[in-house]
Amino acid sequence: MPGQTPGPTFGPARQTWVDLRWRGAPVALPWAVALLMLAASAALFPSSISYGGLATMTPLLGVLIVASLGQSLVIGTGGIDLSVSSVVTVAGIVLVMKSAGDGTSIPVAIAYAVGAGLLCGVANGVLVEYVGLSPLVATLATGQVMAGLASIWYSDGVNRLAVPEEWNEFTGHLLSGGISLILVASVILVALTSLILSYTAVGRRLTAASTGPRAARYQGIAVRRYRAATYVLASLLYSVGGVLLVGSIGTSTPTLGDAYQLSTIVVVVIGGAALSGGRLHPAATLAGAVFLIFINQDVAATGAAPGTQGVIQGAVLILAMLATGLGAVRLLRRRRTGGTADAEAAQAA
């Protein structure tokens, strides 16, 4: 109308910037924190980024990334997986038992190890999604079963066996600068997971079933099946982490995976995920793993008591959960304010 001030318009460039900011914000903050931690570690403990420090740290970082990626799939549904440590341990013990004990070829031994972990994942998915048990109770129970099996097999002869030399050499291979091949493989896995979740129909359905199960059901998505599949995929990743870890250190122990029980949860929460569930950001999980591994490395460098790492991980988990909660509240307020402003602009136009 003549004399009326036109309302605000948003061109393609503005829309692209908003879209990039929406997609990048959940990943940018965890990476900013991780890079600050890396810089602090390099300044305070230069040996942590030396060839020897990286050669020791990067295999463990790679395994942590793989296991945390599995935990993130479960946490994305609003669940939690407490069987992670037991699956890692069982996978490592089965690999040694079959390859070094029974003389099975390494590829077949890996298949046995991964298969054992998958059985736990299937049990978790069925108990949580189809039987209706609490994820906390179900995964804790299956984890105890797996831990018992690991202890039995270990005492039955695995304690006297070592990882075959060829597998130890493969998993212990270092690239230039002391970077482990395991770390490179884990980063590639994170990238593939991001692509699958964002650009494939299966990935989008999995995200929908995790973040909005009721709406997903209206769209005809088999929600239970997809949510149960997250536990299976998680156990697959734990098993892969277990066979990589046991190959890297050269031997199996009944406590092989104990360090991953809490640390995987801490990593996912540092990556900005809420324990109530939500959209997955694998790159943010990668940042959380980098942050945590450097904290552990720095604590070890100070010569502090071994239990100090557990104390710090617990404190970091609490702080990360508080930060995530405050961030969610602020985002909700911003959306409400933005929605009101948009409505007023529309009325003025």
Q: What is the pTM of this model?
A: 0.86
Token pair 């804790």 is at which residue?
A: 140
Report H helices in the chain. 12-44, 51-75, 84-96, 106-125, 135-155, 165-171, 181-199, 201-211, 213-218, 223-249, 260-270, 282-302, 307-348
Query: Which residues have CB under 8 Å from 211's CB, separation 6+?
Result: 76, 277, 278, 279
Closest CA to 120 of 199, 19, 17, 233: 233
In this prediction, residue 12 carries a pLDDT of: 55
φ and ψ at 90, to 5 degrees? -60, -45
Q: In the beta sheet, which residues pair with residue 180?
A: 174
Q: How deeply is 264 buried, as exposed, middle or buried, from its count of CB atoms within 10 A (0-12, 13-18, 19+)?
A: buried
* Cα-based distances in Å from 127 to 147, 226, 231, 305, 316: 18, 14, 10, 39, 31
Sign of CA dihedral 12, 199, 285, 48: negative
Written as tens digits, the pLDDT of the chain (349 aa) is: 455 545 455 555 555 544 545 456 678 888 888 899 889 888 988 888 889 889 999 999 999 999 999 999 999 999 999 999 999 999 999 999 999 988 899 999 999 999 999 999 999 999 999 999 999 999 999 999 999 999 999 999 899 999 999 999 999 999 888 899 999 999 999 999 999 998 999 999 999 998 888 999 999 999 999 999 999 999 999 999 999 999 999 999 999 999 999 999 999 998 888 777 777 889 999 999 999 999 888 888 887 777 787 888 888 878 877 776 665 555 556 656 655 544 454 454 5
How far is residue 61's CA from residue 114's CA, in Å, rounded to a whole number? 20
At CA 331, angle to CA 325 and CA 332, rounded to 5? Answer: 90
